[in-house]
Structure 1
């Protein structure tokens, strides 16, 4: 079953979804103001995961606001009109819960996992953070230092550097190519006024989505969210439609040229990624891509792992990945190896992709990978946090929610020919390569 998630105003009958999937009850409601609530009730659980999603990411930042999205992720934990930073921290520590946030290129999520009886508290605190952050100037300056330390920590990790620079190379010229957390220059430059403007513009009812999974009563959850947002001063006007999802039209002109980049780091092991643009987040071939990446470099039995690590002993870690966004994506082959072997390892990785494009995959590989992906999907959904994230992605990105059975069906329907055709397309695209290691000075 595939459920459509339309964006009508609150009260519209098509916005009231009730469905059952593998024993769970999924419900969706659009509240006044355009706030969306999607929940999945899981029988027998004593916990609940909840996420408040704001449909803004680093790609949405304008000049002068660069780094504001990640800045806000930190600052919303630093105090509201009703709570200090310590109050927010103590609220979750006192019940043995956990709360955190994550900034992406296309959205920001504030989430928590608590006992089911503590869900009203989690809703109240997260809603307070969303609606009533003070963005205190002194706290902002303190957090500026924290973020600079975070960026420095990431810059010390060659694995982080190679992935970030690969994205920048392939998506060169587009906002998606910029680093999510900003750069030291942009973080030092962004003023409090710009962060406040970014907050006021994007943290609005029509951009907000709550998703929850666990032992949840949907009607109670909706009532708690409505009350908390009103306490926060938001005007939940009836009849307002949620903000439209991003335009899914593929972005043209990206990855048309090969970029070669070598970054010096005084480390023992070199890191390399070679690849190209991938497929978009809404591309119907995303199940074929999952099979392709799993066979090529997704586990111990994958081709890259077997050839590069097991047979030749040239790397400890090597894998293939696809990262999808609305309108574009990236596809890459990664390895970490001795600097003197980096060209040899790169040639082997590309060789495995080209073999797949030329000769396809075997029936045994396809059967094994379908089992691998099916098991990973089902086991991953044992966690309420994974289910909460699945709901958020469906609501914000695709506008479709697949049942578990439908997802398993789509995986089983992937054919060897489809995988080969996709491999041919990816192998034919201009390749960019990024190396990080003790090269030059």
Structure 2
């Protein structure tokens, strides 16, 4: 059972006690990310995430790292399009200590100018790494063209230009307007009890409630195309289709459809593009859901001289998928794969902590694993067919990274 407590300032605390384990996972989740940025501060969410590890009034960056190493724990963070998370996994006896360190980072980070300049260099190298990785770059380009200047299409890392402009005051202003109590969920899963909730309440009850920044507008899908010239051995293709939000009823059929199309080694894309035609080593599809939109992505990489063939093969596979539908065997296999993945995630305290937090941030409520499995199990062949027709009969977006930098004639 998941227990929830909402503090007077709006901070939500979730606790799932799992007596059979000896670890505890703790996550401070903030409902802000790239989609809440603009052209001038793109990358600030990710930059703040890095800076919270660079020292507080009482701990240096080394102190923070050693604090978790000395107890055999793990600490990390990530930034996504709509959330930022700071999390730790420790032995149950160290849970209170971990919460105190995370809270210190959250409230008391110093944002020293010299540390910021050093971190700009670090993230600058991270940007270069992505630009040197064509199968990452092609996905960033697809997001950019599909969301057409909306922040959902911005790169999470930001750009060299925006990165250069960050200063301590700007980071503090952004945190004041986006790191607000009503956007914070603290999720705990593992061998823990109400004592940890009381500890969190003590640490976060004085968190001042201020007016949150305005949320960004609903994006519209843009069926555009973009090609980038890059000296690579392979050509990389991404196709994008307008998908569904986290709240859409059609999300479950789309998950089943996507898994049949490109979710694994038995999928249509893998079997037809790789196994039968030998056109690609890596070919797959996946769906990204946001609070008010979604994007279905299909990816394939092939030799530069075969890019036209791969483009045609991808579209042929999609057209056959829509025309022929799926079999009962494919339907049941897809459901089993999705449900298995969901259930396997419950075996990790990190997985449970993250699932509970995301349900609270996205849905505003608990959704049990049984409810989720029931939604998947209820999907029919007809549901998948209707979803495929709706998704694939709309115009698509396309991104290319290749030595020629030219769009394939087949796309």
TM-score range, shorter chain: over 0.9
Report deviation, 1:243: 7.1
Q: Is the 8 A contact 1:79 1:133 kept in 2?
A: yes
Give the corresponding residue for 1:326: 291
Report deviation, 1:270: 1.5
Q: Is the 8 A contact 1:35 1:208 kept in 2?
A: yes
Give the corresponding residue for 1:78: 54
Q: Is the 8 A contact 1:270 1:336 kept in 2?
A: yes
**Among 216, 221, 224, which residue is 2:199 paired with?**
224
Q: Is the 8 A contact 2:78 2:84 kept in 1?
A: yes
Report deviation, 1:64: 3.6
Deviations 1:291-336 (A, max 9, x none): 1111000111101100011111111110011111111111121111
Provide the C-alpha distance between the structure 2 equivalents of 1:440 and 1:300, rounded to a whole number of angstroms.
30
Q: Is the 8 A contact 2:28 2:86 kept in 1?
A: yes
Provide the C-alpha distance between the structure 2 equivalents of 1:158 and 1:389, rounded to a whole number of angstroms.
29
Report deviation, 1:95: 1.0
**Among 303, 313, 324, which residue is 2:268 paired with?**
303
Report deviation, 1:286: 1.5
Give the corresponding residue for 1:342: 307
Give the corresponding residue for 1:286: 251
Give the corresponding residue for 2:281: 316
Report deviation, 1:155: 1.0
- Counterpart of 1:316 in 2: which secondary structure? coil
Deviations 1:101-139 (A, max 9, x none): 101111100011111111111100111111111111111
Q: Is the 8 A contact 2:38 2:151 kept in 1?
A: no
Give the corresponding residue for 2:374: 409
Paired residue total: 406
Task: Extract structure 1 runs of 4+ deviating beyond 6 A.
Answer: 242-247
Alignment pair present for 1:45 and 2:21: yes
Alignment pair present for 1:210 and 2:177: no
Provide the C-alpha distance between the structure 1 equivalents of 2:371 and 2:219, rounded to a whole number of angstroms.
31
**Among 277, 280, 302, which residue is 2:242 paired with?**
277
Q: Report 1:32-181 matches (<5 A).
A: 32-181=8-157
Provide the C-alpha distance between the structure 1 equivalents of 2:304 and 2:182, rounded to a whole number of angstroms.
50
TM-score, normalising length: structure 1: 0.88
Provide the C-alpha distance between the structure 1 equivalents of 2:214 and 2:330, rounded to a whole number of angstroms.
37
- Counterpart of 1:346 in 2: which secondary structure? helix
Provide the C-alpha distance between the structure 2 equivalents of 1:127 and 1:101, rounded to a whole number of angstroms.
14
- Counterpart of 2:114 in 1: which secondary structure? helix
Q: Is the 8 A contact 2:177 2:212 kept in 1?
A: no
Report deviation, 1:204: 2.8
Provide the C-alpha distance between the structure 2 equivalents of 1:235 and 1:321, rounded to a whole number of angstroms.
38
Alignment pair present for 1:433 and 2:398: yes
Cα distance change, pair 167–235 in 1 and its aligned pair in 2 (3 A): closer
Cα distance change, pair 50–417 in 1 and its aligned pair in 2 (3 A): same
Report deviation, 1:236: 6.0
Alignment pair present for 1:191 and 2:156: no
Give the corresponding residue for 1:10: none
Unaligned runs of 5+ in 2: 407-411
Report deviation, 1:245: 11
* Bigger shift: residues 188-197 or 389-398: 188-197
Q: Is the 8 A contact 1:275 1:431 kept in 2?
A: yes
Q: Is the 8 A contact 1:58 1:67 kept in 2?
A: yes
Provide the C-alpha distance between the structure 1 equivalents of 2:213 and 2:137, rounded to a whole number of angstroms.
34
Provide the C-alpha distance between the structure 2 equivalents of 1:82 and 1:354, rounded to a whole number of angstroms.
61
Provide the C-alpha distance between the structure 2 equivalents of 1:106 and 1:61, rounded to a whole number of angstroms.
10
* Alpha-carbon RMSD: 2.0
Provide the C-alpha distance between the structure 2 equivalents of 1:410 and 1:254, rounded to a whole number of angstroms.
26
Provide the C-alpha distance between the structure 2 equivalents of 1:402 and 1:394, rounded to a whole number of angstroms.
7
Alignment pair present for 1:264 and 2:260: no
Deviations 1:259-296 (A, max 9, x none): 22111221111211012221112112221111111100
Provide the C-alpha distance between the structure 2 equivalents of 1:344 and 1:134, rounded to a whole number of angstroms.
54
Provide the C-alpha distance between the structure 2 equivalents of 1:407 and 1:432, rounded to a whole number of angstroms.
30
* Bigger shift: residues 135-144 or 193-202: 193-202
Give the corresponding residue for 2:409: none
* Bigger shift: residues 301-310 or 281-290: 281-290
